[in-house]
A and B are shown apart, each in its own frame.
Chain A
């Protein structure tokens, strides 16, 4: 599983690797930190100024306005400088993190596209999308708040604590000791809070599920008079969600007030110790007053820090998942010394091919293909048949080099697939998938996906070539017709037509067809048959057949059973011969009569 192997990395290791993947984070960080430190000076400036002013300007009831003005001028300069530096630090951090996230998104996206098709199975699709979107977003949120808090609050706390110790180490110890339990209290509250918000998150998902059922099942619920009942279920879930959110909010309400309570306690302790010691210990009135202000400033960020710590953990977990994906080796590697394919038609040689899906867990790692061999001469039309799970789809994918066999070799035009340059392979061999996927946009845009440089004339010529001119004319906006999300505005058959034209635009020598199972209306069926005939003409064609009628029309049928090639011959021969094909044919004929 994607999320597993990387669970072992420690937080430090994860961050280390993350910085390696996104070097923008590290570059110039020292500078950013320096700016932040000077920026934090603004928070220290006022307490220090107060101390100086009180000790030098307000002595014994006599006010030295000139002195105060001089000190204030210095203070003003420090404050302005600090403000400018803080701005620079915030901006630097923001820019660098956005640059890093941008790079990370692209790096991930690219990597995921290069993964083997075996890693792109249905169960994983959602989590792969989540890696590029929500996990990177977790990092983005961290950088916009958590990282900023670390930088600003962290530098402020360090600076304030240093100044406190410099003023009077004894008072500083008093302040730290009295305030220390706050950290424990906050940690405790925080842990309750995390659990409470987790509960709220689960309840929220529950509401979403229930509401979407009431909405998407509206017709069924109405037909069975169950609408009220399930509206009640959804409202109940919504009530529970309110309860858990209110509970989480109540716990959260104690975070900042605990800081407040510890604040007054700590200040009181500092004042008492300060008064007890008095001027004898070298302590001044100004220092004590400045110290009170510093104490407040020191405690201010603590409550925020506990929330930041939690967010940091979430971000590290997100980063760990992101890095985990980058650890998955990419799919068929590009050959370092590619061999050019011969001109003209290409045959396919499948030699002792065995394949095991690498990612399906331990219990299900049985090979999908076992020692399959077949020689397909150039121009032959081959149909592969077999039950679901027989391995025919996988074999098709191996021929198209969407994955490499675990053992054995697949050759195209006599050249092993592993030594063919990817770009050349894609211009000589095209796969038409079972459920052709269309991108949102116009038909023209989907067609030029095959070769972006094509002119409209070339596209129209290809459509005519496949006898689909009448179909195109019947579309509301011709080539500019919008296909909708995943091509949903077109029928399943029309999507297949687009996929066929798209394949023909590449003008490949080898076609791998994953036959569709969905039914299609009669007119489209005729068009599809015609277009496919034209497309297959003169090309080596390997069809992953789901219908025996397809097999019957092929030159040759390969029958697969449990990953093994069990029969090989023409439809006519195999029907006569006792074996799985004849049995399949029997069952099928009787079922459809």
Chain B
């Protein structure tokens, strides 16, 4: 939760508020002004209803109790007016609330849509610079915060009507008492605004502390094994108690302020009412006003309490809305970045050609340094290298996801399909996750799943309609990976890019997947990042990268023979197996040798 910025100078903040309103209301002015009109009706009827209350006293009750009788017609007229005004006032409230809700939700909706469109329009490099949580916050929380001020605004605006009407009416009825009563409104208004400002500060502090508390609880339960392993339960409880105490302290501050304000909000109008009664007694005695007028004054005061409160509330929402809108504006105003896919050359064959390609990471560190390679149609190339050699970057370049700083890449016209290291599944059916909204027959989907060794989903009760992802069936990393692979295969791409796709599978399944690929792919060119010797050995060729440059390009066997570093790398990959062989060979069980993993 954003901490409320300190109040700015009045002129500036008023102009800013006006600007925010202009922008927000945009195409939804009619909704907003309908709500304001409803509020105006409500305000007018509020004043009228207190006038009628005075009439009930003056025209009905006093005559009946002092003169003994009152005309029936008069009773019907006055009470009829009371009920009529009450009904109109109720309608005003319904219109105001309904349309105020429409205004803020429709505007939230268009803001959310603009943010989503913008997010989707930006290419991958932009996304990599953003934090996921931040973008989600902007589309959700910030869009709602930006419009939060619109909710109470119509009601708050009715206060202006209410103040003008009631002050005018009171001054007309009795200039002296009216002026005295009118003078109290600014006091009440100031009380509200001051309270909201101050309580907001504590409220924000409490929200921050609540966030801290949740984070601490989450972390502590997440690490419960460690806590138990070191017998640290008591220490953890003490740590949490400190945070919980800070939350409590912030809340107690809020309570302290609130207790004063709640009491004053009830107390001040009551005190004013008592004083009005004394002043009114003089004015009634001098004949300046009737008892009914005095009662109207008093009743009006009780009715003013809530609307005045709303003005304070609306003003307190304003900084939140401004902060929310500022964050949206920043995102929407960012220039749209160029789509790296547009600079790829499309070739007529299924060949993939990479010519002197350079690429940087974060515009400083060079990840690829003059990579040149040609992969002929239908060949399978394994991209091999240590962590940080630039394998994934190369794949993403070919997929047109990120731009190169120089060089040329030619990809087949028939399109490429990439399968990422971390599979991404939507919360949806298996079918939808394979098709991604394109039209493929169920047979095609099933075939792709079979080739990816993901036929297990067909055996589930709902088959292709099985829900996966959030709220769906839980899938292992390997199962998710295979569904993501099927998504690529169903498209029968001209070039298939696999980023360590099969690493999450056990070696046996991996071998099956790879042999399936050879059968179904035909003329498809495959470029696969791989780190298992068994996988690498299945490729036609190996492209060996060291520090962003191609060191060797040839078959696995040739590279093993000719390149010492490659041999070492393969040994590192095989490390686990070798360590086993060694110890199996030596019959003695090592006392202190423990292979870690």
Shortest B234–chain A CB gap in Å is 8
Q: Could you pull out 21 A-B pairs where Cβ atoms are within 8 angstroms?
A: A79-B274, A94-B255, A94-B256, A112-B221, A133-B217, A216-B132, A239-B109, A249-B102, A257-B89, A257-B91, A261-B86, A288-B61, A381-B594, A425-B231, A432-B229, A521-B387, A536-B592, A552-B595, A553-B590, A571-B589, A575-B584
Closest to B62 in A: A285
Shortest A273–chain B CB gap in Å is 12
**How far, in angstroms, from A212 to B135 measured CA to CA in the complex?**
8
Query: Which residues of the partner chain A approach B119 to less than 8 Å between Cβ atoms?
Result: 214-215, 218, 231
Query: Which residues of the partner chain A approach B226 to less than 8 Å between Cβ atoms?
Result: 433, 436-437, 439, 449, 502
**A213: contacting residue among B64, B245, B427, CB under 8 A:** B427
**A593: contacting residue among B91, B213, B534, CB under 8 A:** B534
Most chain A CB neighbours (cut-off 10 Å) among B62, B228, B248, B491 = B228
Query: Which residues of the partner chain B approach A125 to less than 8 Å between Cβ atoms?
Result: 221-222
Pairs A-B, 4 closest by C-beta atoms:
A94-B255, A249-B101, A83-B267, A264-B86
Q: B223 at the A/B interface (Cβ < 8 Å)? A: yes
Q: Are A117 and B235 in contact (CB under 8 A)?
A: no
**B86: contacting residue among A144, A263, A571, A575, CB under 8 A:** A263
**A253: contacting residue among B94, B233, B506, CB under 8 A:** B94
Q: B576 at the A/B interface (Cβ < 8 Å)? A: yes
Within 8 A of A (CB), among B540-586: 572, 574-577, 579-580, 583-584
Q: Mark A218-256, 1 if CB is under 8 A from B, else 0.
A: 111111101111110011001101100110011011101
Q: Are B584 and A553 in contact (CB under 8 A)?
A: no
Shortest B342–chain A CB gap in Å is 13
**A293: contacting residue among B65, B86, B299, CB under 8 A:** B299
Q: Are B284 and A58 in contact (CB under 8 A)?
A: yes
Q: Are A76 and B260 in contact (CB under 8 A)?
A: no
Shortest B478–chain A CB gap in Å is 12
Among the 9-residue stretches B18-26, B180-188, B236-244, B357-365, the one with 4 or more Cβ atoms under 8 Å from chain A is B236-244
Q: A69 at the A/B interface (Cβ < 8 Å)? A: yes
Among the 9-residue stretches B52-60, B317-325, B447-455, B460-468, the one with 4 or more Cβ atoms under 8 Å from chain A is B52-60
Q: Are A98 and B262 in contact (CB under 8 A)?
A: no
Within 8 A of B (CB), among A63-102: 63-65, 68-69, 72, 75-76, 79-80, 82-84, 86-88, 90-91, 94-95, 98-99, 101-102
Query: Which residues of the partner chain B approach A340 to less than 8 Å between Cβ atoms?
Result: none
Q: A410 at the A/B interface (Cβ < 8 Å)? A: no
**How far, in angstroms, from A250 to B35 measured CA to CA in the complex?**
12
Q: Mark A507-538, 1 if CB is under 8 A from B, else 0.
A: 00000000111011110010011011100110
Q: A34 at the A/B interface (Cβ < 8 Å)? A: no
Closest to B251 in A: A98
Q: B298 at the A/B interface (Cβ < 8 Å)? A: yes
Given contacts A90-B259, A94-B259, A218-B124, contact A553 B594 (CB under 8 A): yes
Q: Are B594 and A554 in contact (CB under 8 A)?
A: yes
**B595: contacting residue among A272, A278, A547, CB under 8 A:** A547
**How far, in angstroms, from A293 to B301 measured CA to CA in the complex?**
12
Q: Are A289 and B233 in contact (CB under 8 A)?
A: no
Query: Which residues of the partner chain B approach A593 to less than 8 Å between Cβ atoms?
Result: 534, 577
Q: Are A46 and B270 in contact (CB under 8 A)?
A: yes
Q: B356 at the A/B interface (Cβ < 8 Å)? A: no
Q: Are A224 and B436 in contact (CB under 8 A)?
A: yes
Q: Are A221 and B597 in contact (CB under 8 A)?
A: no
Q: Are B437 and A226 in contact (CB under 8 A)?
A: yes
Q: Are A522 and B575 in contact (CB under 8 A)?
A: yes
**A439: contacting residue among B223, B263, B484, B577, CB under 8 A:** B223
Q: A284 at the A/B interface (Cβ < 8 Å)? A: yes
Q: B27 at the A/B interface (Cβ < 8 Å)? A: no
Q: Are A423 and B580 in contact (CB under 8 A)?
A: no
Q: A219-B127, A257-B93, A528-B597 are in contact. List 9 more A-B contacts (CB 8 A).
A: A53-B281, A58-B281, A61-B66, A65-B282, A133-B210, A261-B87, A271-B75, A531-B596, A549-B579
Q: Are B221 and A90 in contact (CB under 8 A)?
A: no
Q: A561 at the A/B interface (Cβ < 8 Å)? A: no
Query: Which residues of the partner chain A approach B254 to less than 8 Å between Cβ atoms?
Result: 94, 144
Q: A105 at the A/B interface (Cβ < 8 Å)? A: yes
Q: A201 at the A/B interface (Cβ < 8 Å)? A: no
Q: B420 at the A/B interface (Cβ < 8 Å)? A: yes
Question: Chain A's interface: helix, strand, loop or mixed, by majority?
Answer: helix
Among the 9-residue stretches B110-118, B161-169, B367-375, B376-384, the one with 4 or more Cβ atoms under 8 Å from chain A is B110-118
Q: A268 at the A/B interface (Cβ < 8 Å)? A: yes
Closest to A555 in B: B589
Q: A208 at the A/B interface (Cβ < 8 Å)? A: yes
Q: Are B248 and A102 in contact (CB under 8 A)?
A: yes
Q: B33 at the A/B interface (Cβ < 8 Å)? A: no
Query: Which residues of the partner chain A approach B231 to less than 8 Å between Cβ atoms?
Result: 422-423, 425-427
Among the 9-residue stretches A37-45, A314-322, A360-368, the one with 4 or more Cβ atoms under 8 Å from chain B is A37-45
Q: A541 at the A/B interface (Cβ < 8 Å)? A: yes
Q: Are A80 and B507 in contact (CB under 8 A)?
A: no
Q: Are B298 and A278 in contact (CB under 8 A)?
A: no
Shortest B499–chain A CB gap in Å is 11
Q: Are B65 and A288 in contact (CB under 8 A)?
A: yes
Q: A12 at the A/B interface (Cβ < 8 Å)? A: no
Q: Are B229 and A120 in contact (CB under 8 A)?
A: no
**How far, in angstroms, from A115 to B400 measured CA to CA in the complex?**
51
Query: Which residues of the partner chain A approach B491 to less than 8 Å between Cβ atoms?
Result: 224
**How far, in angstroms, from A54 to B487 measured CA to CA in the complex?**
84
Q: Are A543 and B70 in contact (CB under 8 A)?
A: no
**How far, in angstroms, from A215 to B130 measured CA to CA in the complex?**
10
**How far, in angstroms, from A593 to B578 measured CA to CA in the complex?**
10
Q: B136 at the A/B interface (Cβ < 8 Å)? A: yes
Q: Are B135 and A215 in contact (CB under 8 A)?
A: yes
Q: Are B219 and A439 in contact (CB under 8 A)?
A: yes
Closest to B45 in A: A260
**B109: contacting residue among A112, A214, A238, CB under 8 A:** A238
Q: Are B93 and A219 in contact (CB under 8 A)?
A: no
Q: Are A235 and B112 in contact (CB under 8 A)?
A: yes
Query: Which residues of the partner chain A approach B520 to less than 8 Å between Cβ atoms?
Result: none
Q: Are A72 and B278 in contact (CB under 8 A)?
A: yes
Shortest B298–chain A CB gap in Å is 7
**How far, in angstroms, from A279 to B127 measured CA to CA in the complex?**
81
Q: B204 at the A/B interface (Cβ < 8 Å)? A: no
**How far, in angstroms, from A312 to B236 measured CA to CA in the complex?**
32
Q: A450 at the A/B interface (Cβ < 8 Å)? A: yes
Given contacts A83-B264, A211-B136, A214-B119, contact A550 B240 (CB under 8 A): no
Q: Are B222 and A437 in contact (CB under 8 A)?
A: yes
Shortest B189–chain A CB gap in Å is 19
Most chain B CB neighbours (cut-off 10 Å) among A220, A226, A258, A271 = A220
Q: B593 at the A/B interface (Cβ < 8 Å)? A: yes
**How far, in angstroms, from A427 to B230 measured CA to CA in the complex?**
8
Q: Are B417 and A529 in contact (CB under 8 A)?
A: no
Most chain B CB neighbours (cut-off 10 Å) among A65, A84, A258, A437 = A437
Closest to B578 in A: A549
**A547: contacting residue among B124, B420, B576, CB under 8 A:** B576
Shortest A249–chain B CB gap in Å is 3
Q: B105 at the A/B interface (Cβ < 8 Å)? A: yes
Query: Which residues of the partner chain A approach B475 to less than 8 Å between Cβ atoms?
Result: none
Q: Are B117 and A426 in contact (CB under 8 A)?
A: no
Query: Which residues of the partner chain B approach A180 to less than 8 Å between Cβ atoms?
Result: none
Shortest A384–chain B CB gap in Å is 14
Q: Are B123 and A222 in contact (CB under 8 A)?
A: yes
Q: Are A211 and B221 in contact (CB under 8 A)?
A: no
Query: Which residues of the partner chain A approach B534 to less than 8 Å between Cβ atoms?
Result: 591-593
Given contacts A43-B266, A215-B119, contact A533 B593 (CB under 8 A): yes
Query: Which residues of the partner chain A approach B98 to less than 8 Å between Cβ atoms?
Result: 246, 249-250, 253
Query: Which residues of the partner chain A approach B401 to less than 8 Å between Cβ atoms?
Result: 219, 222-223
Query: Which residues of the partner chain B approach A575 to less than 8 Å between Cβ atoms?
Result: 584
Q: Mark B263-276, 1 if CB is under 8 A from A, else 0.
A: 11011001101110
**How far, in angstroms, from A86 to B260 measured CA to CA in the complex?**
9
Query: Which residues of the partner chain B approach A271 to less than 8 Å between Cβ atoms?
Result: 56, 60-61, 75, 79
Q: Are B228 and A117 in contact (CB under 8 A)?
A: yes
**How far, in angstroms, from A541 to B476 measured CA to CA in the complex?**
30
